[in-house]
Amino acid sequence: MYKQRTLASAIERVSGAFPVILLTGPRQVGKTTLLEHCGSGDRRTVSLDDLDQRDLAQNDPALFLQAHPPPATIDEVQYAPQLFSHLKLEVDRARRPGMYWLTGSQKFHLMRGVSETLAGRVAILDLLGFSQAEADGRADRAAPFLPTAEWIADARASGTHAGGLMDLYRRIWVGAFPGAVLAGAELRDDFYRSYLQTYVQRDVRDLARVGDETAFTRLLRAAAARTGQLLNYADLARDVGVDQKTVKTWLSVLETSGLIHLLQPYHTNVTNRLLRTPKLYFLDTGLCAYLTRWSSPETLEAGAMSGAILETWMFTEILKSYWHHGREAHFWFYRDRDQREVDLLIERDHRLHPVEFKKTASPGRSAAAHFQAIGKLDRERGPGAVVCLRETDVQLAEDVAAIPAGYL
C-alpha cells in the first residue's frame, strides 16, 4: 500500500523549474516509488543496479542517454559518474524542465559530480523514511517545525497522533523504513537483518575499502549505542579495535549513505567557550534499536537507551519536516564549558529557536533553563520549545512552549 509522501509537492514544484532533479537518501526509503507516483506515464525508469545498464552508462554514456531519452528517471546514478557531463550536454541542448530525475544513495560522490557539471541545472532533494505525519496519513502537513504560536496552533488543529507511551516506543522500535513499517513488528527483525547484509555487502565496498566487515559491523553497533551523544573518536576506536583514522573514514561512509547525521555545535566569534565536538544521531530509530539488540518496544522503553533513542526520534522527525518539504535544515546544538546545553538550535531569519527533548509528560520551567545562554550568541533568540510526552501543548514561559511529540 502506497503512503503519500510530503516531498511529492516539492518534487512537483522544482520539476517545473529545473531540468534535473537529484533525489538522495539511504537505500530502501522509497525514492524510486515516490518518483514513480510523481511522474507521468511517458517517463521511463532505468536502474544502474542493473549491471548491463550500468556497464553501458559507464562505458558509453552518450549511447545510454540515447537509449533512455527524456523524460527519464535514472536510479542509483552514483554508479556512473561518467553520465554527468553528458547529462549537461543534453540539458543545455534542450533546456526543458523535468528532463531527468536522478536518485542516489551515496551522497558524497553524487555531490562531487553534480557540483562540477550540473551546477545551476539541478535541484537537490533529500528523502528519509516515513515521517510520523506520513505514516499517519498527514503528508500534507503545512510547514516545517518551528516553535512559534502559529506552528503550534496549526499542529494542534491538524489531527495529530495521540497514542500513548508504548505506541510511541513501538513506532520508534519498528523504525521508519517503508519496508519495516509496512511489514509490521512481526517481520521487523527480518527486514533489518536483510538490510544490513545488503548494505554491508554492496554499498560499503563501493564507498570504502573495508577489509574487515566484522569490524565495520562492530562500528555500526557501537555508533548506534551512542546515538544522541557527543562523538568521541578515541572511545569508538577502542571499542571497535581499529584506529581513529579508520573510525572517521567509516563514519563518513555512514553519513554519506544517509544512515547517521553529525549535528555540529553552534560556534561564534563572540565566545571561545563553546564545545566544538559534534553529536551523533542515527537517522532511523528502528535500525538503531535493532543494532543495539532491543528485542521489543517494552524493553527499549525501560532500558538504558530509552531517553537517547526518544531524543533521536524527536530530532529526526524535525529534520524530516524540513527535508521532506524540500527545505534546508539549519540546525545546531549548543554546549559550553560550563556544561550548559541546548539539544537543538534552529536558525530561521537570523533568529535562533532553542529546542529541548525530554522524556516527561510534565516538564517544568527548569527544562528550558539553559535557553538563557543563547542570549550571549550573535543571533537574536526566537521562541523555544520543550518537546515532550504531554498530550496537549502548554506555555512554560512567555517565549517557551511544551509541545507534545505527537505534534511532530
Which pLDDT tens digit goes with each residue over 314-335?
Answer: 999 999 999 999 999 999 999 8
Give dist(CA 301, CA 306) in Å, integer. Answer: 5
Which pLDDT tens digit goes with each residue over 345-393?
Answer: 999 998 999 999 999 999 988 888 888 888 777 788 899 999 999 989 9
What sign for the dihedral angle of Cα 316, 319, 323, 329?
negative
136-145, 161-170, 228-237 — most confident range: 228-237
CATH for 7-126 is 3.40.50.300
Are the beta carbons of 78 and 105 closer than 8 angstroms? yes
What sign for the dihedral angle of Cα 25, 27, 33, 35?
positive
Are the beta carbons of 377 and 352 closer than 8 angstroms? yes
Which pLDDT tens digit goes with each residue over 47-88?
Answer: 998 999 999 999 999 999 999 999 999 999 988 888 988 999
Give dist(CA 83, CA 74) in Å, integer. Answer: 10
Q: C-alpha grid cell for residue 48?
A: 544502474
Give dist(CA 146, CA 385) in Å, integer. Answer: 9
CA nearest neighbour of 405 among 85, 161, 189 = 161
Q: Residue 130's pLDDT is what?
A: 95
3-state secondary structure of 171: helix
Q: Residue 260's pLDDT is what?
A: 94
CA nearest neighbour of 167 among 141, 154, 146, 185 = 185
> What is the rounded average pLDDT of the residues 214-242?
92
Alpha helices in 226-378 (DSSP H): 233-240, 244-256, 285-291, 297-302, 306-323
Q: For residue 334, what are the CA distances in angstroms to 22, 142, 199, 354, 376?
A: 32, 28, 33, 9, 12
Give dist(CA 12, CA 6) in Å, integer. Answer: 11
- CATH 3.40.50.300 spans which residues of the chain? 7-126
Which pLDDT tens digit goes with each residue over 20-51?
Answer: 999 999 989 999 999 999 987 789 999 998 99
- pTM for the full predicted model: 0.93
Give dist(CA 329, CA 347) in Å, integer. Answer: 8
Place of cell 510526552: 389
CA triple 306-310-316, angle to 5 deg: 150
DSSP annotation of 265 reads B
